[in-house]
Amino acid sequence: MKIKQYPWGVALVALTLGLMLTVQYRSSKEINETPPIARVQTLSNEIKEKQEGRNLLQKRAQQLRERLDKKAASQSENLSEAMDTSRIIAGIQAVTGPGVEVTLNDSNVELSQGQDPNLYVVHDEDVLKVLNELKAAGAEAISLNGIRLIATSEIRCIGPTILTNKNKRIPAPFTIAAIGNPQTLEKSLYLKGGVVEQLKFWGIQVQVHKKANLEILGCAGVITLEYAQPVSEG
């Protein structure tokens, strides 16, 4: 019986030894295939640095984007202000502000025999003198009987009326509204020997009132230019 059991014992020992060698081989292989701990730490540090660098770049990009947005907004605001100013100067934009209101009417003086009645009525040149004084005093927008005056507006005598803006006939009394510094505008008209004094010499009725708020409409109709062209840059 002992002789017969010997081969089985050897087989069992061999099998056990084989299993042990297999387990050891696999463990050794897994250890060899697993990266060293130092390498793992290095890669982890590199990833962390890349992430921090990415975050810094994103923060910088956001700062540049905000600066660009502010610059674009500022340029847009400046452009909008410049366009508004140009529209006001051109007379196509309705405006409001302080200023003066001047009313001119024919004289109510009873004329003596032989006196020329034309000397005692408001003429186009009288209106033009008032307008020039107001412009010289810094008026930024002017209307005549509610009609906005622009750079090409004319003041011409057409019988008992005044013609302006090519086809607007205006009868007396004439009301001039001017936006600007009320004190400066008023003083310019009342200078010694100035336009008001000259008109009152002939009995022309002149009334000047300072206004805290005036509203002047934009020029009605389409403004067209036939000959004036903008100069090309460069």
Helix (H, G, I), strand (E, B) or coil at 107: coil
Asked whether the predicted pLDDT for residue 233 surpasses 70, the reply is: yes
Which of 32-46, 62-76, 193-207 has maximum average pLDDT?
193-207
CATH code of the domain in which 186 resides: 3.30.70.1880
- Whether this prediction's pTM lies above 0.75 is answered by no
Name the band, by pLDDT with cuts 50, 70 and 90, for residue 5.
Answer: low
Could you report the per-residue pLDDT of 63-97, keeping only the tens digit for each?
888 888 787 777 777 777 888 888 888 888 999 99
Rounded Cα gap, residues 143 and 220, in angstroms: 12
- Listing DSSP states for 18-29 in one string gives HHHHHHHHHHHH
Inside any domain, residue 125? yes
User: What one-letter code names the amino acid at 154?
Assistant: E
- Domain hosting residue 164, numbered range: 94-216
Q: Which residue has the tokens 């009995």?
A: 203
Inside any domain, residue 72? no
Inside any domain, residue 38? no
pLDDT for 218: 92
pLDDT for 2: 46
Beta strands in 131-171 (DSSP E): 141-144, 147-148, 156-158, 161-164, 168-171
The rounded percent of the chain whose pLDDT value lies above 70 is 83
pLDDT for 54: 80
Count the domains in the chain: 1
pLDDT for 3: 47
Query: Per-residue pLDDT averaged across 102-126, rounded?
Result: 86
Inside any domain, residue 59? no
pLDDT for 84: 81
Could you report the per-residue pLDDT of 142-191, keeping only the tens digit for each?
999 999 999 889 999 998 899 999 889 999 999 999 999 999 999 999 99
Inside any domain, residue 18? no
Inside any domain, residue 116? yes
Could you report the per-residue pLDDT of 56-69, keeping only the tens digit for each?
888 887 888 888 87
Q: What are phi and psi of 178, to 5 degrees?
A: -135, 130
Spatial strand order in the sheet of 141-144: 147-148, 141-144, 174-179, 95-105, 205-216
Asked whether the predicted pLDDT for residue 43 surpasses 90, the reply is: no
Inside any domain, residue 156? yes
pLDDT higher for 210 or 11? 210
Using only C-alpha atoms, the chain has a radius of gyration, in whole angstroms, of: 47
Inside any domain, residue 40? no
Query: Per-residue pLDDT averaged across 89-113, rounded?
Result: 90
